[in-house]
A = this chain, B = another copy of it.
Amino acid sequence: MSEFMQPLELLIEQFRRLPGVGRKSAIRMAFGVVDMTDEEAERFFSQMADAKSRIHSCAVCGNLSEGELCPICADVKRDPSVICVVEDPKALLAIERVKQYTGVFHVLGGTISPMDGRGPDDIAIPQLLHRIREGHVTEVIVATNPTLNGETTAMYLSKLLKPLGVRVTRLASGIPVGGDLDYADEMTLLSAMDGRKEIG
């Protein structure tokens, strides 16, 4: 386990906390830090901490944002009557990359997960309800991942929002079941967006 001196192990351990980083990569990166001068390393970490501190959540949709509102919510050319609901900002970016969707977004920050005891109030569903009640929303496109929890969340939203007179749709075929929206190619996302269907 403790193959290296303690502060080096600590660096390796911290790098391993990042997604997709195994011990070998963590060792390589830790030695990259060791090879920096003290000044370089200090700048390296403080610049990253500084950058992270500048990334906030949009007060309206929960998207990543430097200011109060994200660029999408602040854009008057986007149609606020169509809201695309996603699990996280990565899924939002995947859809934006297609450059076809002109509505706005709502980032849930997760899914309903009965197994983990995570209910509608533990993700940004109350905020979504608030937006729908306050604004003139005609359609909610549920773009949660096609996983068990994603489908559960979609069904829940459908039952919750239809009584409010909102059209609730779901991204259609194209995304492999059990997969992650994040890794879908643009054509797949486009066809999924085109083929979206009303839930229930």
Contact = CB atoms under 8 A, between A and B. Distances in A.
Interface of A: 3-8, 10-11, 14-15, 17-21, 25, 28-29, 31-34, 36, 38, 41-42, 44-49, 51-55, 64-66, 71, 89-90, 93, 97
Nearest to A21: B29
Contacts of A64: 5, 8, 34
A165 to B, nearest CB: 35
A17 B44 contact: yes
B47 A18 contact: no
A14 B50 CA distance: 12
A113 to B, nearest CB: 17
A25 B20 contact: yes
B18 A51 contact: no
A4 B19 CA distance: 18
A33 B15 CA distance: 11
A89 to B, nearest CB: 7
A25 B7 CA distance: 24
Nearest to A27: B90
A147 to B, nearest CB: 18
Contacts of A38: 52-53
A18 B33 contact: yes
Contact of A29 (B4, B5, B18, B31): B18
